[in-house]
Chain A
Amino acid sequence: MEAITFFIAALIAIAGACGVVLLKNPVHAALSLVATLFGVAIHFINLEAYFLAAVQVIVYAGAIVILFLFVIMLLGVDRAENMESDPIIGQRQLAILAIAGLLILGIFIGVAFSGEVTGVPPIEAQQSTFEGGLAIDNGALFDKVPPKENIKEIGRALFSTRYVFALEITALLLTIGVVGAVVLTRKTKSELDPIPVVEPPVWMRNSEEEIELTHNEDQEEPIGEIVDPFPEDLSNDELEVNGE
Chain B
Amino acid sequence: MTFAMAIGTEYYLALSALLFAIGAGGLLVRRNPLIMFMCIELMLNAANLAFVSFGKEMSDLGGQMSVLFVLVVAAAEVVIGLAIVVAVMRRRPKASIDEVSVLRG
Contacts and interface: CB of A to CB of B under 8 A. Distances in A.
Interface of A: 1-4, 6, 10, 13-14, 17-18, 20-21, 26, 29-30, 33, 36-37, 40, 43-44, 46-49, 51-52, 55-56, 59-60, 63-64, 67-68, 71-72, 74-77, 79, 81, 87, 91-92, 95-96, 98-100, 102-103, 106, 115, 117, 119, 121, 141-145, 150, 153-154, 157-158, 163, 166, 170, 173-174, 176-178, 180-181, 184-185, 192, 194-195, 198, 200, 204, 230, 235
Given A17-B23, A68-B38, A99-B21, 14 more contacts: A10-B11, A20-B42, A47-B53, A49-B67, A52-B48, A52-B67, A71-B85, A75-B90, A96-B29, A117-B54, A143-B59, A157-B65, A184-B86, A195-B92
Given A47-B53, A63-B75, A170-B73, A195 B37 contact: no
Given A33-B38, A67-B79, A81-B95, A49 B86 contact: no
B17 A106 contact: yes
Interface in B47-80: 48-49, 52-62, 64-65, 67-69, 71-76, 78-80
B101 A200 contact: yes
Q: Is the interface of A mostly helix, strand, loop or mixed?
A: helix
Nearest to B32: A81
B60 A142 contact: yes
Interface residues of B, number: 78
Given A4-B3, A21-B30, A71-B86, A99 B24 contact: yes
Given A52-B68, A195-B92, A36 B18 contact: no
Contact of B35 (A26, A64, A92, A96): A26
Shortest beta-carbon contacts, A-B, top 8? A95-B28, A21-B26, A77-B95, A177-B76, A184-B83, A99-B25, A181-B83, A17-B22
25 contacts: A2-B6, A3-B6, A6-B12, A20-B35, A21-B23, A21-B39, A33-B38, A33-B42, A47-B56, A48-B56, A49-B56, A59-B75, A63-B75, A71-B82, A72-B34, A92-B28, A92-B29, A102-B21, A117-B54, A117-B57, A141-B62, A142-B59, A144-B59, A184-B84, A184-B86
* Chain A CB within 10 A, most for which of B19, B67, B68: B68
A54 B56 CA distance: 17
B73 A68 contact: no
Nearest to A69: B34
Given A20-B42, A75-B86, A230-B94, A174 B72 contact: yes
A119 B22 contact: no
B9 A195 contact: no
B37 A68 contact: yes
Given A40-B49, A117-B9, A177-B80, A74 B42 contact: no
